[in-house]
Structure 1
Amino acid sequence: MTGEIENGAIYPSLKDRSVFITGGGRGIGESLVEHFCAQGSHVAFVDIAEEPSRRLVERIGAKGDPAPHFIPCDLRDIESLRKAIAEAAERNGPIRVLCNNAGNDDRHRTEDVSVDYWDDRMAVNVRHQFFAAQAVRPHMKAAGGGSIINFGSITWMVGDPDCPAYVTSKAAITGMTRALAREFGPERIRVNCMIPGWVMTERQVRLWLNPEGERQIAERQCLPDRLYAPDIARMALFLGADDSRMCSSQQFIVDGGWV
């Protein structure tokens, strides 16, 4: 099972809509790109991993869906991110949906964290989300509104003990979402925070899904099924579509009932 379902929702408002996704080459981001393309959206995405990103573009095009536009980008370089957003808007029209998905949850212990590592985790997980929102705001305002979807994590809600810098950055995203939603709201720009649980991406399964992890899922989740990237992508579609036009400054938790 991969989390795919038959006869998933179609959102007419997403057809031909300009969508920008960070970290779109792998994992949850890959599924976001696939699902928005399947809705007929004009998708541009950035990622530091070029090979899987280019394979994704080819795979989607081969299915007959509108092929996304891939822009290589290291999101720690804010100027490169700004240029990528400008390129996407020039190609696809004013950006109406931003999925601030990119992040990295490498494990670490407090005693091993240096100042440089801490700053890098903030740059990888939260700083680029703010500057991407800043960059798309004029596009959305000119278009009469839009949807910014920031990606947090349940890790800060449960207080995971093995990645304190990551947990801190993800908690910060919730606060940032609330602030931006209040500021951008008069321009009909909605800002929400997606809170995924433990999603069974290839990376998560390869690095951390062991018998102990399986027991933890069985004990903590209300639902018995595993959580997959398409489960997250389908919520993102709703938040990007006009169906959620009065949803802003909220957290949308998709975790199988973990927290």
Structure 2
Amino acid sequence: MKFSATFHDLTGKSVFISGGGSGIGEFLTEGFIAQGAEVAFVQRSDSAAFCDRLERTYGSRPLFIPCDVTDIEALQAAIHKAAEVNGDIEILVNNAAWDNRHPNEGFSVEDWDYMQAVNLRHYFFAIQAVIPGMRRQRGGTIVNYSSISYMMGNGGYAAYTAAKAGVTGLTRGLARDLGKDNIRVNALMPGWVLTDRQRELWVDEASLKAHIDRQCLKLEIPPEAMVEPTLFLASAASTVMTGQAVVVDAGVVVTG
């Protein structure tokens, strides 16, 4: 992966990423490894081959812990294990999510609860698990992945858009609560990032063209385009930024 900037202060930092073995997450893991960070991540699917590649490329192997983020006990245990191996978590990236489309009729309470569990609930409990270690270090950084989907008023996946709006609210509330401990909490709001999953399930020529027509920048957004904005929010380069929702979407929605 090529970078236009290097964040030297991330070298040696203890980083934990949820969903760090696929989609945007795998690029985030590689991005932090390339900066010299000590990275641990959770992923449901086997990520051993991915870790092998990073070790060959960078001489550093991330700690992969198999985990379903909807299992809060297992997630918090993974965070504690990562802290034992790499030191107290200094940077937490809450990335894991599932943007499944669904009908409104026939969508059950169990379906709704699962979508909140996989897209919102684990963010709070991951943060809960890292707070004591961040306090011991007199500070830390949290980056929560939200989405512009709710800002655009997208339909077809109301449970997901509700959860992502919740991520932004969670970010702003916890930035206030944790600021006294020098813990920064920001949200990153991707646009339509063309991961393999997006291309397999939802990208077609007409829908992609229509979306790019709405962008100021007329280009496709690859997952690696999310890496450096995340590194920026994690690094001392953004040292007085907290409680912010940073849009990275090639210019679809406008904030401010």
TM-score bracket, normalised by the shorter chain, equals over 0.9
Match of 1:19 in 2: 15
Q: Which residue identity lines up with residue 88 of structure 1 in the other structure?
A: A
Larger displacement relative to structure 2 (80-89 or 215-224): 215-224
Residue 65 of structure 1, CA deviation: 3.7
Q: Is the 8 A contact 1:37 1:65 kept in 2?
A: no
- Alignment counterpart, residue 107 of structure 1, candidates 101, 106, 129: 101
Please give the secondary structure, in 2, of the residue aligned with 1:110: coil
Deviations 1:62-103 (A, max 9, x none): 103421000000111100011000000000011000000000
Residue 198 of structure 1, CA deviation: 0.3
Q: Which residue identity lines up with residue 198 of structure 1 in the other structure?
A: W
- Alignment counterpart, residue 171 of structure 1, candidates 147, 165, 172: 165
Match of 2:189 in 1: 195
Match of 2:225 in 1: 231
Q: Is the 8 A contact 2:191 2:248 kept in 1?
A: yes
Residue 112 of structure 1, CA deviation: 2.9
Partner Cα distance (1:118, 1:108) in 2? 10
Segments ≥4 residues shifted beyond 4 Å: none
Residue 211 of structure 1, CA deviation: 1.6
* Matched positions, count: 253
- Alignment counterpart, residue 32 of structure 2, candidates 17, 31, 36: 36
Q: Which runs of 5+ in 2 are unaligned?
A: none
Partner Cα distance (1:134, 1:72) in 2? 20
Partner Cα distance (1:8, 1:255) in 2? 18
Residue 218 of structure 1, CA deviation: 2.7
Q: Is the 8 A contact 1:40 1:65 kept in 2?
A: no
TM-score calculated relative to the size of structure 1: 0.96
Pairwise mapping of residues 114-133 of structure 1 onto structure 2 (< 5 A)? 114-133=108-127
Partner Cα distance (1:86, 1:218) in 2? 42
- Structure 1 residue 58 corresponds to structure 2 residue 58: no
Partner Cα distance (1:72, 1:122) in 2? 21
- Alignment counterpart, residue 98 of structure 1, candidates 92, 99, 121: 92
Identity within the alignment, %: 45
Please give the secondary structure, in 2, of the residue aligned with 1:98: strand
Partner Cα distance (2:55, 2:173) in 1? 38
Residue 59 of structure 1, CA deviation: 0.6
Please give the secondary structure, in 1, of the residue aligned with 2:186: strand
Match of 1:8 in 2: 4
Partner Cα distance (1:154, 1:254) in 2? 9
TM-score calculated relative to the size of structure 2: 0.97
Please give the secondary structure, in 2, of the residue aligned with 1:148: strand
Q: Which runs of 5+ in 1 are unaligned?
A: none
Please give the secondary structure, in 2, of the residue aligned with 1:122: helix
Q: Is the 8 A contact 1:41 1:66 kept in 2?
A: no
Residue 217 of structure 1, CA deviation: 2.2
Partner Cα distance (1:112, 1:227) in 2? 34
Deviations 1:162-207 (A, max 9, x none): 1000000000011100110000001000000010000010110111
